[in-house]
Amino acid sequence: MTSTTTASTDRPAVPRRPARKPRRPLRFRLSRIAAWAVLVLLMAGTLLPFYWILRTAFSTNSALFTGDQSVLPAEPTWVNFRRVLGLASPEEVRAAGGSGAELQFWLYLRNSVVFATLVTVGQVTCCAMAAYAFARLHWRGRDAVFYLFLSTLMVPPIFVLIPNFVLLSEVGLLDTFAGLAAPYFFMTPFMVFFLRQFFLGMSSELEDAARMDGAGHPRIFLRICVPVMAAPLTTAAILAYVMAWNEFMWPLVAGSDPSVRVLTVGLSAFRSGQPQAAPDWTGLMAATVLGALPVVLLFLAMGRRIVDSIRFTGLK
């Protein structure tokens, strides 16, 4: 039964065994149709709010609440995207209900890429090694140490934020990429936990065979574990990248200088400047679209990679 091909409702049920009950394919087909219906519904529910994001991004602020809430954008315009990219003149910005804050979209984008890449490379490498130690090696106190690592997952982010901020301020690393990435570079409790759980599920046959051949742990880790775990490692990398991309509070306090300011922080200018006032809705939504586009593209590109890597590990 090979289900790796793209599914279709009339997939050829080639019975390898004539013993199979003849009734099955029909029932099977029906349940598949039902499953597809559910999936399509879920996808529609997921996507609807995105339509609203796009509609808002293409509307003008002044017309947003006045007219009827039609399906199409209110007074369609590109101006919000031009505002986000810093292409609109100050008069245009003010007319669109925008702020006086200066935006350097491409710089923030570069900074986000540097920050997220740095975090991903470091975190996945270091945590994979840790996961190997927690899942594939046998040593005294292993589970105790692992649960100690895990326990920091329960500490509220604000209590991690302030000491780390003070520390990096003391070593003079604020407003640098190194300082920005440091708390996520070596590990996060999430990533250690994630990779450890996947490393647990690895078959030990290959490992044993390699050990018989006299391979040391570093070799087993690099030559066996990493290739076999390619799929979860890719997933881990995507997760790390997206989480870093969307990080807000830490880059806000630790990287306020424009030279390291990331997109989430830069684009928060579209939230309300004043107390008790609504955000710049159209600018915020245009910023959201442009800010998320890189990770969406990355996700789609990497998604295919995952499938490939499964085929690769399929020989197992």
Looking only at residues 184 through 213 of this chain, which bind another protein when binding is defined by CB under 8 A?
185-187, 189-190, 192-194, 197-198, 200-204
Residue 26 binds another protein, judged by CB under 8 A:
no
Helix axes 230-246, 281-313, angle to 10 degrees: 170
Measure the CA–CA gap between 101 and 15, rounded to whole angstroms.
66
Shortest distance (Å) from residue 155 CB to another protein: 5
Which residues, 135 to 154, sit near another protein by CB under 8 A?
137-140, 142-143, 145, 148-154
21, 22, 23, 91: residue in contact with another protein (rule CB under 8 A) = 21
Between 87 and 310, CB nearer to another protein? 310
Of 246, 132, 146, give the one whose Cα is nearest residue 195.
132
DSSP state of 216: -
57, 58, 59, 64: residue in contact with another protein (rule CB under 8 A) = 64
Which residues, 159 to 188, sit near another protein by CB under 8 A?
159-167, 169-170, 172-179, 181-183, 185-187
Between 89 and 151, CB nearer to another protein? 151
Q: Long-range contacts for 302-309 (Cβ within 8 Å, ≥24 apart)?
A: 302/234, 302/237, 302/238, 305/234, 306/231, 306/234, 306/235, 307/4, 309/230, 309/231, 309/234
57, 84, 109, 133: residue in contact with another protein (rule CB under 8 A) = 133
Q: Burial code of 46-57, b = ≥16 C-beta within 10 A, e = fewer?
A: eeeeeeeeebbb
Between 87 and 278, CB nearer to another protein? 278
Amino acid letter at 162? I
> Residue 45, Cβ neighbours under 10 Å: how many?
9
Residue 246 binds another protein, judged by CB under 8 A:
yes
26, 30, 50, 76: residue in contact with another protein (rule CB under 8 A) = 50
**Which segment (81-89, 105-113, 122-130) binds another protein by CB under 8 A?**
122-130
Residue window 250-279: x/- pattern of binding to another protein, with contact defined by CB under 8 A = --xx--x---x---x---xx-xxxxxxxxx
Residue 132 binds another protein, judged by CB under 8 A:
yes
C-alpha angle 215-219-223 in degrees, rounded to nearest 5: 115
